Structure 1
Amino acid sequence: MTTFPLESFLGDLEFLINTDSGSADIEGNLQVASFFKERFEKAGLKTTLHRVGMLGHPVVTARTQGSASYDCFFSGHIDTVFPSGTVSERPFRRGGNFVYGPGTVDMKAGALLILYLAEYLRKEHPAFSFTIALNSDEEIGSPDSTPLLREFAANCRHIFVFEGQRKQGQFVNERKGIAKFDIEVLGVASHAGTAPQQGVSAILELSEIVVDFSKLQNLERGTSINVGLMEGGSALNVIPAHASAKMELRYTSHREYERILRAISKMETKPHLSGTSVTFTAISHYPPLEITEAAKQMMQTLAPLGLSYVKAGGTSDANRLACLGLPILDGCGPGGGFPHSEKEFLDITTVPARFWKMVEIMKRLAEFKR
């Protein structure tokens, strides 16, 4: 192949975009997963369609045969944030150098680029070994597929995540860590008119906690804290005995994470209001994607290619794989804009450019291995 088959790619992408595959749409994700399974099998890869979790989220895995370890792991997801029926409202649409539709850049184009890259490598560089995993619960944090992703990535030398490239074609080599917590506050109920002094407001205690968090965040260090959901109380004339909230912490360094954990522990052991109790329950935690020594070595190997890198505030499956200690490069997919919105688009011109850039990266890694 000397010219990237862009029209073929866009034809495949139209099918994928026009198939609803929100994270909760298991049937739609099965249709998309089956498409990839069939194509991976035709490329000569050992392919499996897994079902994970209580809902049976599909995960497609594929790998070259005859190896115990692999050069690379390619990671992508086929689910979107959009509910079933979105496609009927705004299906695949091409206008000039742009393609519009749900999940174009986040990240059906990236998943499809993995397929085209795999087909190319099997034909042109059959000795190059790799594994692939495309999951369908990434947009909700990959709660069910993470163990499988780690299992397939663990035997690889390098990890590439095909989220969309950044505006100027940069790759992503750092991502913030994210931790989510439930907060529950118990107070003492009492009549707000006849005996307010006998009550202790759970809502007031929760409000103090929210203020504490606003003081604890340090944006200069990349630490942000958001209490995004709150509820509490039972009636206007009752001192509230219960209040709850959900909090999200994003951070770049383990030291900052430990600092916030110490503050949370203090909030639990020493509430502001006597008579209240505070409990934090961890919902999920994924560490940051950091530039490790292994990542530095990979970047040095790829230096002749003139790649540029940025830090991202959002999370991806790169965060879920960071614990493996392997070098990870994210943002390997084509570019576009406005993910998770009605304006989401793919810049068609970035597809062949990104494809050939990924081919260069694979060749460079193969040469360095020799």
Structure 2
Amino acid sequence: MPSPQPGSPSLSTLREAVARRFDRYLAELEELVNIDCGSYTPEGVNAVATHVEAELSRLGADVQRIAHEPADGEAQLGDLVVGRLGGTGPRLLLIGHMDTVFGLGTAAERPFRRNGDRATGPGTSDMKGGLLAGLHAIGALRDTGGTPAITFVANPDEEIGSPSSGHHIRALAAEHDAALVLECARANGDIVSARKGVADLVIEFHGRAAHAGVEPEKGRNAILAAARAVEQLHALNGKWEGVTVNAGVIAGGTRPNVIAAECRLEVDLRGATAQTFDQARSAVTAIVASPAVRGVIADLREAAMHRPMEASQATKRLARLAESIAAELGFELHDAATGGASDANTTSAAGLPTLDGLGPVGGDDHSEDEWLDLSSVVPRTTLLAALISRIALAL
């Protein structure tokens, strides 16, 4: 078991500091959960940003708030918050997102509730619980004399692929030694050392309209071309280990008596390694280049993309360090791979040792049953604080 770095606060001291913050954590969790902050609700996201900005300032950070400036036709998104804390040791990048997948009115329909050690409400686990854990871990370290060098990023758009914040995160990755991502731990308590890459693909088929009863031979049916492409796309499942392809949305045509001139597919492509991800992506490109209906052409674009997060040797060392700290705290910890993407994919793809799932334990994300285990808040936030304090041991 690695020894603590000289000058690191003891685990008992850190745990006591975190425990003193629990009531405040709980009050802040209720406040944030009761804010509607879906990705396309910038007013709500910015209300969360204001809270994060104030907390980072209270911790002594130099805070930058970057407004989103949409291009023509783009939706307005919330602000990006970046807080820089000078200190000693490796330069750490902590990342949490402020947006949820839920629409306006969700918080009023099912506000924050506590039933014993279980909290429910939109975003409790994904990821207001983890966002606050990051802030309170830093606070506990400051309370006990720790001065780690941290850049804290709270982004407004992770749930839609981080289109406005991704380039900021990539730029920051080049300036840091490791990244810790504050998504909550899996429902079984696992932290995350690997994530599949994800490409959200849009395929548009362009045919030719014609009267379906009078001159069908003059038509070029875009829906038929899309349907055949769906079969080809789904045949890619199982071709490479860990690769999944799903055509999740299809829309086209105008009337039943008109040969459809247009059809649109939205496709989810995932792969566990960069090699298989790229091979599958190339196979999709080939399918789109040769529609199976004569006279139909097709276009392909990426609506969003995360490269795979593969468990590098440096990431594995971070996971082993986290496991040893958990053992000192009295609980068992394991790392795992998962099929969902996060901003950890971005930092990992940039070459930064990255560990994810470092918030409290939660589950049923993106559903009305979403929950956070409040009994895990103190031990998991202590784990995070200690990992920050000792991280040089794994780098």
TM-score grouping bracket, smaller chain normalisation: over 0.9
CA distance, structure 2, for counterparts of residue 96 and residue 258 of structure 1: 46
The residue number in structure 2 matching 1:34 is: 50
Is 1:328 paired with 2:354?
Answer: yes
Q: CA deviation at 1:303?
A: 5.7
* CA shift in 2, pair 1:30/1:208, >3 Å: same
* CA shift in 2, pair 1:253/1:367, >3 Å: closer
- Give the residue type in structure 2 aligned to 1:32: V
8 Å CA contact 2:225–2:291 kept in 1: the answer is yes
CA distance, structure 2, for counterparts of residue 219 and residue 110 of structure 1: 36
CA distance, structure 1, for counterparts of residue 323 and residue 125 of structure 2: 26
CA distance, structure 2, for counterparts of residue 297 and residue 347 of structure 1: 27
8 Å CA contact 1:161–1:330 kept in 2: the answer is yes
Q: CA deviation at 1:227?
A: 1.0
* CA shift in 2, pair 1:92/1:264, >3 Å: closer
CA distance, structure 1, for counterparts of residue 108 and residue 197 of structure 2: 36
The residue number in structure 2 matching 1:342 is: 368
The residue number in structure 1 matching 2:9 is: none
Q: CA deviation at 1:241?
A: 2.2
Note the 1:192-203 alignment, pairs <5 A.
192-203=212-223
291-300 or 171-180, larger mean C-alpha shift? 291-300
The residue number in structure 1 matching 2:144 is: 124
8 Å CA contact 2:83–2:152 kept in 1: the answer is yes
Which stretches in structure 1 are left out of the alignment for 5+ residues? Answer: none
Q: Secondary structure at the match of 2:148?
A: coil
* CA shift in 2, pair 1:61/1:234, >3 Å: same
* Residue number among 339, 345, 356 corresponding to 2:382 in the alignment: 356
Q: CA deviation at 1:25?
A: 2.0
Per-residue CA shift, 1:197-217, capped at 9, x if unaligned?
A: 333322111111000011111
- Give the residue type in structure 1 aligned to 2:199: A
Q: CA deviation at 1:56?
A: 5.3
53-62 or 8-17, larger mean C-alpha shift? 53-62
Q: CA deviation at 1:220?
A: 7.0
Is 1:8 paired with 2:24?
Answer: yes
CA distance, structure 2, for counterparts of residue 234 and residue 262 of structure 1: 31
8 Å CA contact 2:318–2:394 kept in 1: the answer is no
* Residue number among 22, 42, 49 corresponding to 2:38 in the alignment: 22
8 Å CA contact 2:193–2:316 kept in 1: the answer is no
Note the 1:204-223 alignment, pairs <5 A.
204-218=224-238, 221-223=241-243
8 Å CA contact 1:267–1:278 kept in 2: the answer is no
* CA shift in 2, pair 1:100/1:271, >3 Å: closer
Per-residue CA shift, 1:200-242, capped at 9, x if unaligned?
A: 3221111110000111112871111111111222222222222
Q: CA deviation at 1:120?
A: 1.6
Q: CA deviation at 1:125?
A: 4.1
- Give the residue type in structure 2 aligned to 1:57: G
The residue number in structure 2 matching 1:133 is: 153
| Regions of 4+ moved over 6 Å | none
Q: CA deviation at 1:104?
A: 0.6
Q: CA deviation at 1:164?
A: 0.9
The residue number in structure 1 matching 2:105 is: 85
CA distance, structure 2, for counterparts of residue 328 and residue 221 of structure 1: 23
105-114 or 122-131, larger mean C-alpha shift? 122-131
Percent identity for Structure 1 against Structure 2: 34
Note the 1:169-318 alignment, pairs <5 A.
169-218=189-238, 221-299=241-319, 301-302=321-322, 304-305=324-325, 307-318=333-344
CA distance, structure 2, for counterparts of residue 196 and residue 300 of structure 1: 65
> What's the TM-score once normalised by structure 1's chain length?
0.92
* CA shift in 2, pair 1:300/1:338, >3 Å: closer
Q: Secondary structure at the match of 2:185?
A: coil
CA distance, structure 2, for counterparts of residue 278 and residue 89 of structure 1: 42
Per-residue CA shift, 1:78-119, capped at 9, x if unaligned?
A: 111112222222221111111111111111111111111111
CA distance, structure 2, for counterparts of residue 266 and residue 151 of structure 1: 32
CA distance, structure 1, for counterparts of residue 194 and residue 255 of structure 2: 46
Which stretches in structure 2 are left out of the alignment for 5+ residues? Answer: 1-12, 71-75, 328-332
8 Å CA contact 1:128–1:366 kept in 2: the answer is no
CA distance, structure 2, for counterparts of residue 85 and residue 341 of structure 1: 15
- Root-mean-square deviation (CA, aligned residues, Å) is 2.1
8 Å CA contact 2:322–2:383 kept in 1: the answer is no
* Residue number among 123, 148, 163 corresponding to 1:103 in the alignment: 123
> What's the TM-score once normalised by structure 2's chain length?
0.87
Q: CA deviation at 1:293?
A: 3.3
8 Å CA contact 2:319–2:355 kept in 1: the answer is no
Q: CA deviation at 1:367?
A: 5.0
- Give the residue type in structure 2 aligned to 1:229: V
